[in-house]
């Protein structure tokens, strides 16, 4: 039986499906939603924006709020509670570095920018990278 599940989440449809799957299929598990901000891009977009903030942690938390609002709505619709945490930097590295604290990871098959070739080239497919490198089981949801 799974007792602790990590659900990495961005603003994609697939991430929402992953959270729904985790909540519906593991009703007794403690679910934690992770949102990673400051994703590297060709022009260093979010990463540069965060580095210019006076308080990087506060800025990251603020940028994570819309994703967490959506996650709380999904959890409320299922009468469940979730924990939310955020990371800063590269999504795959953040997820993998936290994996040992959980029984499994449930994530969407594609992130918000999955169709952009430059994003995939620079960042890589998060689901693919996590499934290859995680030491805990990974469920990928479409």
State the average pLDDT for the chain: 84
Q: Measured between alpha carbons, how far is 110 from 120 in angstroms, rounded to an integer?
A: 10
Q: Residue 46 is encoded by which pair of tokens? A: 């979010």
Ranges of beta strands (E only) in 21-141 are 30-37, 83-88, 104-108, 138-141
Facing residues of 4 across strands?
A: 30
Whether the per-residue pLDDT at 134 is higher than 60: the answer is yes
In whole angstroms, what separates CA 115 from the centre of its chain?
17
Furthest CA-CA distance within the chain? 44
Over residues 107-115, the mean pLDDT reads: 69
Q: How many CB atoms lie within 10 A of CB 102?
A: 23
How many residues make up the chain in this entry?
A: 142
CA distance 51 to 46: 9
Among 38-42, 61-65, 79-83, 120-124, the range scoring the smallest mean pLDDT is 120-124
- Contact in structure between 134 and 34 (CB atoms under 8 Å): no
Q: Which sequence spans correspond to the domains of the chain? A: 4-141
Rounded distance between C-alpha atoms, residue 60 and residue 85, angstroms = 11
According to the model, what pLDDT value does residue 63 have? 87
Question: pTM for the full model?
Answer: 0.84
4-141: CATH class: alpha beta
């Amino acid at each position: 039986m799974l007792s602790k599940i990590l659900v990495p989440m961005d603003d994609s449809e697939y991430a929402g499906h992953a959270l729904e799957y985790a909540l519906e299929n593991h009703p007794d598990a403690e679910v934690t939603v992770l949102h990673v901000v400051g994703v590297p891009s060709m022009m260093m977009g979010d990463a540069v924006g965060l580095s210019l903030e006076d308080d990087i942690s506060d800025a990251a938390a603020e940028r994570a709020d819309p994703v967490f609002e959506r996650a709380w709505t999904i959890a409320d619709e299922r009468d469940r509670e979730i924990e939310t945490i955020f990371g800063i930097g590269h999504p795959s590295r953040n997820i993998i570095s936290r994996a040992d604290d959980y029984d499994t990871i449930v994530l969407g098959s594609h992130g918000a920018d999955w169709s952009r070739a430059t994003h995939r080239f620079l960042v890589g497919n998060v689901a693919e990278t996590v499934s290859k490198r995680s030491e805990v089981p990974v469920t990928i949801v479409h």
